A and B are shown apart, each in its own frame.
Chain A
């Protein structure tokens, strides 16, 4: 469920990229256009999809999908 939503968000932000089946190993910089702006947009989109809100520290700490999942699952 959560993974699906994150996958959706990845597809929306990185429209031209093929998102692999296993998203666990993806991280900041995995795609060419995975820059800091798109990283922020990805997290904000995930916030809206999962109806959660990250703290400032969380946003600055999350660099990988693994790390993201860890934090999301705690919420």
Chain B
């Protein structure tokens, strides 16, 4: 689901139409700023996203005695959390909550006791974060963490407060809207998968072909340490499931020597899925990487110190995200850490195995291409497929596949976790997942379909997708057969092919599997099952 409409509510004023909101110009903003959170949260349409900005300062009535205010912290938090929980129960749309407070103690107060505001702020954040594990459409940000980088003096503005009841300065509104923009962008677009790195003056200082392994800068004091830290931060990305590749104009042997022998190399040879070390144009190498890994160009991030190479990449392959690195290497480790391209709100267990899985995929592709007889080869690799039902533990994987699968995806419908929960609750629908393994290893959950019963005689294939890492094994045929064998031959199975920029691969899939075209327009082609025949030759490759 694409987020377009945002309802904005807060317990303080936020100045609608302020130039700071410009960052969110692609969204439709609706402000409800009567200062009453409960009516703001309660009133908002269930089919719209809600943004709720909580100013902790305005939750407290300071005319009361401190002790009595302190007692209320629990109740205030509880009421707010309940209010938000109530909304979460009723909507699948995002609920984005930002919390900030302006703590203005003098240093002696800070030394002697914690401020009530601080306590309330922390309690609120902690209790809201607990909702994270229960609901997947809540996004909580402790804005103080962002504001402190800018300095609270620049964020809050007494003039705006007494003038318009708006606690924030213009800069404050700008930063708020920028944070909201980032969260929304991440909700709407999946994260990047691959980081392609240059070598000379990117992973280390100097040119390996000229300086030699002993003279390159890596690990020594000064700039060498910056390269070292840069590598350490790259390595952290591996845990997020990011795939690392090298694209370098060099002699392969020279580069490999550094990876194998240089003591300070943090990134090891085994961490790199593909080395494209040659004298070809880099964009050609990146096209190869995209093909070898079967990931779209728009999933790839390119980091190169050479402005000339970057310029070329931007011209030749604008879909690739080419990073503009800081002029000085010392800022790179931090710059990489701050990149939000690879981040996700939640970590999924499947991600951690991804690296290994891409490795075995590359091996499979090479060996299959070398085999004389494709089917005979596939029969030898001990393919085992299994259909599994949707469960609590795999629901996030199911949603992830609908969000990320672009190529082998008949309808490209994107579903959030709660969308899938809703679909699965309806007994007329059937969500199934598919696992596969072979001699190359266990590939995990890689396929999925959603069937919707329209009436007694007809069912509709709402979603049918397959992860690119197991292409070439005819699992799609096995999956379709599992549908065919489930239903009586009198039942009409309908399926749709909705063309996108990326799913040309499945254009003929239905026709090749005994479906006939019954309706076609620019946006979609509707197919109906013609024959229940099963492709036996292909089924035999599976154990």
Contact = CB atoms under 8 A, between A and B. Distances in A.
B170 interface: yes
A62 B183 CA distance: 38
B170 to A, nearest CB: 5
A37 B17 contact: yes
A55 B19 contact: no
Interface of chain B: mostly helix, strand, loop or mixed: helix
Contacts of B18: 41, 44
Contact of A60 (B15, B17, B163): B163
A12 B163 contact: no
Contacts of B19: 12, 41, 44-45, 48
B444 interface: no
Contacts of B170: 44, 47-48
Contact of B15 (A41, A53, A56): A41
B472 interface: no
Contacts of A54: 159
Given A44-B170, A47-B170, A56 B17 contact: no
Contacts of B159: 53-56, 59
Contacts of B17: 13, 37-38, 41
Report the interface size class on chain B. 10 to 19
Report the interface size class on chain A. 10 to 19
B164 interface: yes
B162 interface: yes
B164 A40 contact: yes
Interface string A25-49: 0000000000001101100110110
Given A44-B19, A45-B19, 15 more contacts: A12-B19, A13-B17, A37-B15, A38-B17, A40-B15, A41-B15, A41-B19, A44-B15, A44-B18, A44-B170, A48-B19, A55-B159, A56-B163, A59-B159, A59-B163
Interface of A: 12-13, 37-38, 40-41, 44-45, 47-48, 53-56, 59-60
Interface of B: 15-19, 159, 162-164, 170
8 contacts: A37-B16, A38-B17, A40-B15, A44-B18, A44-B19, A44-B170, A48-B170, A56-B159
